[in-house]
Structure 1
């Protein structure tokens, strides 16, 4: 007599299938997370091999979990690297293309190292990147596909070796950009009018380059701008009237250029201005009485220009004023108390 075999009831079959399906889903999900984690880890090993000949990244080894490595911050699930912060460690060499594999990266800080040459094209793969600090290296070129970092809010390329390059128009497509630091390089040419499209910009720092031509009137569209620093260039012409309408401005610096023209009465619109420093230019005319409307003004330096006439009595209304330099002009009168 053969043995009878009873098949599981239909609900039992369905339950088994559901459990098996869930198990397979979890297994696939874990494999996906493991793959991403291993991608980050292997990419960072390659970065270390190329950039760390002196062995400062001692925690970057198989005995230490990836998320505990020096300079690494992972997401809350400890699955992906979201921050790589390795400033001032004496790292050297070319900008590693392997960084482009860190697809969840939101902050990259490699300031104060000795990275040389062009930023790798792979930087454009970091579509989630918001903060990029590469100041004080020996970088020579910005790739056009930096536009792939479309969420970028802070870009610091100050104090590098970017010589005889115009300010890249590609930067004007980074519409979330809030802080742009390009000082102490050797950018040439003029400031692109399309910089006025960076409507989120708070800081624009272009000091110590070889920029020339006029300051574009389009900068007056940057209604969130607080810091406009243009020192030590070869800029000419007048400061556009539109700039004096940026009521958010706190710092306006344009030392040692070839600027001409006068300070207009509508300088009084700059109600948040604390620093007005326009020394060593070819500006002239009378200092307008409206400058007395700048209640926040702490520092006024108009020295080494061609300003004339009397010091306006209204300057005494600037109750926060702590430093003033009007020397090397044709101004007469007493600075009001």
Structure 2
């Protein structure tokens, strides 16, 4: 039995030792030098650095942890955050960006980066915060980030459909801002599986289809919902009243029709309600007076009619109030 045991142990060591060597090799070669090489590759892809920040500061002669825009973790001395926002940079993102394996935050907003995001971008599985807004990126929207909480791609050139299955890979998403792109899909049903969502902003794309399915009521943590400037159609679902944490509801400049649902009165935290430039009909529900925190009520350019409910006088915090271009009476 002893010989058999020794034989089995020897066999296991023979099988496992190559894997151990590979694993050890990966751990020893993936270090701060890897991060430095990735950032120098990014620097090499910058075709315009108007403020000469990277040109003068990002040097192999100094520690990458001291470079402008770079933050390293105190525990393992690896790059955990990259913030190059508003630095007047023009360029593309190299595939080596995927080697920043400890990165948790990436902020490139308000520059002139352009082109596709490389496939290796999805290697950054530790990312919690991505802000690529106000650039000229196009192609497929990045996803497959199991820890991601914040994704802002507003004001780029992303086009086509939003894949419904992408949200299966974003279970912790809290903020999704895709406004001012050229997206042309319907609202994907997969979106409503992201139960931690607090902000949705799809404003000013080319999106179409039904405005909101009843599943919108599942997103009970939602605080901001902006869908205006698209080609959405249909009616506001009753389930909108389930969003008790909602503070802003903006669905202006779309093809909405039907009545304003009385369930909107449940949204007592609402400060902004903008349903302007649609085809809403019927009366303004008297329950509107329950929205005591409302600061902006903007319903102009619809087909609303009838008397203004007296309960609207309860809204003492109103600072922006526009019901023009309807058929209402008794407007104050």
Question: Which TM bucket (shorter chain)?
Answer: 0.7 to 0.9
- Corresponding position: 1:35 with 2:55: no
- Number of matched pairs: 279
**In structure 1, which of residues 119, 143, 149 is the aligned counterpart of residue 141 of structure 2?**
119
Asked whether the 8 Å contact 1:220–1:246 carries over to 2, the reply is: yes
Asked whether the 8 Å contact 1:187–1:209 carries over to 2, the reply is: yes
Asked whether the 8 Å contact 1:82–1:107 carries over to 2, the reply is: yes
How far residue 249 of structure 1 moved from its aligned partner, in angstroms, is 0.6
Asked whether the 8 Å contact 2:151–2:176 carries over to 1, the reply is: yes
Correspondence for 1:131: 150
Could you say what secondary structure the match of 1:235 adopts? strand
How far residue 255 of structure 1 moved from its aligned partner, in angstroms, is 1.0
How far residue 244 of structure 1 moved from its aligned partner, in angstroms, is 2.0
Matching of residues 153-168 of structure 1 within 5 Å: 153-163=174-184, 165-168=185-188
Correspondence for 1:175: 195
RMSD: 2.6
Asked whether the 8 Å contact 1:43–1:99 carries over to 2, the reply is: no
Matching of residues 236-275 of structure 1 within 5 Å: 236-275=257-296
Could you say what secondary structure the match of 2:192 adopts? helix
Measure the CA separation in 1 of the matches of 2:282 and 2:70.
51
Correspondence for 2:128: 106
How far residue 41 of structure 1 moved from its aligned partner, in angstroms, is 5.6
Asked whether the 8 Å contact 1:110–1:133 carries over to 2, the reply is: yes
Structure 2 stretches lacking a partner, 5+ long: 1-22, 79-101
How far residue 34 of structure 1 moved from its aligned partner, in angstroms, is 6.4
How far residue 42 of structure 1 moved from its aligned partner, in angstroms, is 5.9
- Residues 212-259 of structure 1 deviation map (CA, whole Å, 9 limit, x = unaligned): 011111111110000000010001001111112210111000110000
Correspondence for 2:204: 184
Structure 1 stretches lacking a partner, 5+ long: 1-27, 312-334
Asked whether the 8 Å contact 2:224–2:246 carries over to 1, the reply is: yes
How far residue 267 of structure 1 moved from its aligned partner, in angstroms, is 1.0
- Corresponding position: 1:92 with 2:114: yes
Could you say what secondary structure the match of 2:182 adopts? coil
Measure the CA separation in 2 of the matches of 1:291 and 1:136.
36
Measure the CA separation in 1 of the matches of 2:146 and 2:192.
16
**In structure 2, which of residues 215, 236, 241 is the aligned counterpart of residue 215 of structure 1?**
236
Could you say what secondary structure the match of 2:203 adopts? coil
How far residue 61 of structure 1 moved from its aligned partner, in angstroms, is 5.9
TM-score, normalized by length of structure 2? 0.76
Which has the higher Rg, Structure 1 or Structure 2?
A: 1
Matching of residues 187-336 of structure 1 within 5 Å: 187-190=207-210, 191-308=212-329, 310-311=330-331, 335=332
Asked whether the 8 Å contact 1:73–1:82 carries over to 2, the reply is: no
Could you say what secondary structure the match of 1:176 adopts? coil
Measure the CA separation in 2 of the matches of 1:152 and 1:45.
30
Asked whether the 8 Å contact 2:214–2:238 carries over to 1, the reply is: yes
Q: 1:31 to 1:224 in 2, by over 3 A?
A: same
How far residue 72 of structure 1 moved from its aligned partner, in angstroms, is 3.9
TM-score, normalized by length of structure 1? 0.75
Could you say what secondary structure the match of 2:112 adopts? coil
Asked whether the 8 Å contact 1:72–1:84 carries over to 2, the reply is: no
Q: 1:85 to 1:296 in 2, by over 3 A?
A: same
Measure the CA separation in 1 of the matches of 2:214 and 2:27.
46
